[in-house]
Chain A
Amino acid sequence: MSFVVELDQVQRVFEGPPAVEALQATDLYIKKNEYIAIVGPSGSGKSTLLHLLGLLDSPSSGTYYLNGIDTSALSERERAGMRATAIGFVFQSFHLLSHRTNVENVMLAEVYKPGSSKNRKQRAVDALEQVGLGHRLNAYPTTLSGGERQRVAVARALVGKPSLLLADEPTGNLDTRTGEQILSLFDDLHEAGLTLAVITHDDEVSQRAQRQIHIRDGVVTSLETSG
């Protein structure tokens, strides 16, 4: 069994004063093609965990292996390179550029990925078709509904064929119905072999995952396996 993510006694302390231990020393493993939910109230440290997993932040101590690579030994450029190649992000507020078409927004994901200029547009089109937006390729995000926008964002996260899809409150800005569409899209992607980590405070969202990781006050309290 190969692991996409392995956290070995990873701890994150924000230097004070007063110093805040946002994440206490944690061991965490995410297997390939696993679908996990990281659940916790706001301020629990789940965003910290997300940023650590997404290589946007570095642990104060401990080691984070992504795809078996010790990320603490990497340079800033290599960490950025791993963000470009191994991780796909989906955000609560979509973060789409309003002056670019959907295809251009999806293509943006590969701008910083080395050797990716060939067929970039075709991959973007494919990714949009995969999320069911093949008919809105050249529309601008401002003309889309919230659910459609989030699907463009998912397409952007998928286009680089990441090892891990990190979603931060993906349904937080959506109503129940469109949120449900995103969640079933995640189910499909999981079926297709993608590894997903979804951060949420919503139990309905977390129940869709195979496994829930609860986090409170910087402590990962349960690592239960469901299904």
Chain B
Amino acid sequence: MLEDDDFQRSEDVVEIEIAQPATPVATSALTFRDLFSEMSIALTSRPGRTLLTAMGTILGVAALVATLGLAKTAGNQIVSRFDELEATQVKVEPQQQRGFGEQQQTSVIPWDSEDRLTRLNGVRSAGIFSSVNVSDSVRSVPVDDPLDESEFQIPVQAVSPGFFDAARSSLATGRFFDEGHSERNDSVVVLGPEAAERLQITRVDNTPAIFIGDKPFTVIGILADTAREPSILNALLIPNGVARQTYELQAPAEVLIDVEVGAAELIGTQAATALSPGEPDKLRVAVPTSPKRLKEDVASDVNALFLVLGGISLLVGAIGIANVTLVSVLERTGEIGLRRALGATRRHVAAQFLGESVALGILAGILGASLGVITIVVVSATRQWSPVLETWLPFAAPAVGALTGLLAGTYPAWKAASIEPIAALRSSS
């Protein structure tokens, strides 16, 4: 018996050496198509469970998409409402200096600001204006009649000719004064409409005069309206020349600049240097919030909070997938053992479970993106906004989902791969 065995064995060894090269061993293989079909069967055999597993990720992706989309939509909305008038206005005034009252008057704004600024590219018009300290009351008749109600305290402002353009003022009648009036120290005045009404002056063709204290001024124009600096509606506007000579105006108080759309930021950086090359720091330039910055501000405010929330719910979603996948690995121990017996390697098993969770993530990404887009559209519809969506966003969402699934599936897949087929097959499932 023993001899027989030995004989047969040695004979077979010879046979094997001949046979082995002729019969190459086929390695086990899992085609992508088979893997895909195994995954889809696993995911679709329990659709309710699949959906619940993916729910956390769906909500996370939906939150992210809705957040980014709504921030974009809202940002655009605010920008479209943006005030053109506001956006093209730049104002320059001296820095408030700490010190004695008199020193504060030593403004660095020069009288020829208008010339200096209109040379800058992007400036439409510029004008200086200052309040004139006039203690006298204003009358439309030269007689000092104590019974007459024709004496008023009306603010007086000295402005340069360019100011009317810069403030976008329009005339009801007459004309604005010009540089010549200022140089000749002409006593002329342009009335704001409210001031004109109080002084009961409605026309200028008869060259009416008013008196500031005892000094007569010829009314050469009456304003209809102004887009900026509404305080001039109730003021007397006089040229700088007469203001300096008669009322000892030391320096202009403010510069108003009307700029081209989009040039505000640029002019803002240049104006101070143009006006005061020596001490630009002493000037304060007020620039409107630029549309770009506004958009960014809105986006970052809204985003920061909701992106964090979206991220957290994505994390919760990932934990959900990991959890359920891990449970299903334990549930499917028998199946894993069977697959190993049928020729699956550890890699094949890992690939299947990882593939399932990635597919689940992609599915969740697609559903989440849809949900997010629906949210954007519904919110936009109720607010009557136009929904704005980055085109890459719906495509990035499945990728985010896939990444979530990949991260969530790694540990369960490793766990599944490390199951020993022997132990798995003994379990009776």
| A→B interface (CB under 8 Å) | 3, 6, 8, 27, 29, 47, 51, 54, 56-57, 65, 67-70, 74-78, 80-85, 87, 89, 91-93, 95, 97, 99-100, 104, 108-109, 111-115, 117, 168
Contacts and interface: CB of A to CB of B under 8 A. Distances in A.
Given A65-B16, A70-B16, A114 B421 contact: no
B341 interface: yes
7 contacts: A54-B341, A81-B343, A87-B341, A95-B425, A113-B28, A117-B33, A168-B425
B23 A112 contact: no
B12 A65 contact: yes
A224 B334 CA distance: 35
B23 A69 contact: yes
B391 interface: no
A76 to B, nearest CB: 6
Contact of A77 (B27, B41, B46): B27
Contacts of A91: 338, 425
A78 B25 contact: yes
A75 B28 CA distance: 11
**Across chains A and B, which 8 residue pairs bring their CB atoms closest together, nearest first?**
A84-B343, A112-B343, A99-B45, A80-B28, A93-B428, A114-B29, A81-B28, A77-B27
Contacts of B426: 47
Given A77-B27, A82-B25, 10 more contacts: A47-B422, A68-B23, A80-B27, A83-B343, A99-B41, A100-B41, A112-B30, A112-B339, A117-B31, A117-B34
Contacts of A168: 425
A139 to B, nearest CB: 15
Contacts of B28: 77-78, 80-81, 83-84, 112-114
Interface of B: 5, 8-9, 12, 15-16, 19-20, 23, 25-31, 33-34, 38, 41, 45-46, 334-335, 337-346, 348, 421-422, 425-426, 428-429
Nearest to B6: A27
B6 to A, nearest CB: 9
B343 A8 contact: no
Looking at chain A's contact residues, the main secondary structure is mixed
B422 A6 contact: no
Contact of B422 (A57, A81, A87): A57
B26 A95 contact: no
Most buried by A among B29, B41, B421, B428: B29
B335 A97 contact: yes
Contacts of B338: 89, 91, 95, 97, 108
A109 B345 CA distance: 14
Nearest to B44: A99
B355 to A, nearest CB: 13
Given A104-B41, A117-B31, A56 B46 contact: no
Contacts of B334: 93, 95
Nearest to A172: B428
B27 A83 contact: no
Nearest to A96: B338
Contacts of B345: 76-77, 80
B25 A69 contact: yes
Contacts of A8: 9
B27 A81 contact: yes
B419 to A, nearest CB: 12
Most buried by B among A8, A51, A104, A112: A112
Contacts of A75: 27
A56 B16 contact: no
B8 to A, nearest CB: 7
Given A93-B428, A99-B41, A112-B343, A70 B29 contact: no
A99 B48 CA distance: 14
Given A65-B12, A95-B337, A109 B342 contact: yes
B400 to A, nearest CB: 29
Contacts of B429: 93, 95
Given A57-B422, A78-B27, A93-B429, A83 B341 contact: yes
B25 A112 contact: no
Nearest to A89: B341
Contact of B26 (A81, A93, A109): A81
B342 A84 contact: yes
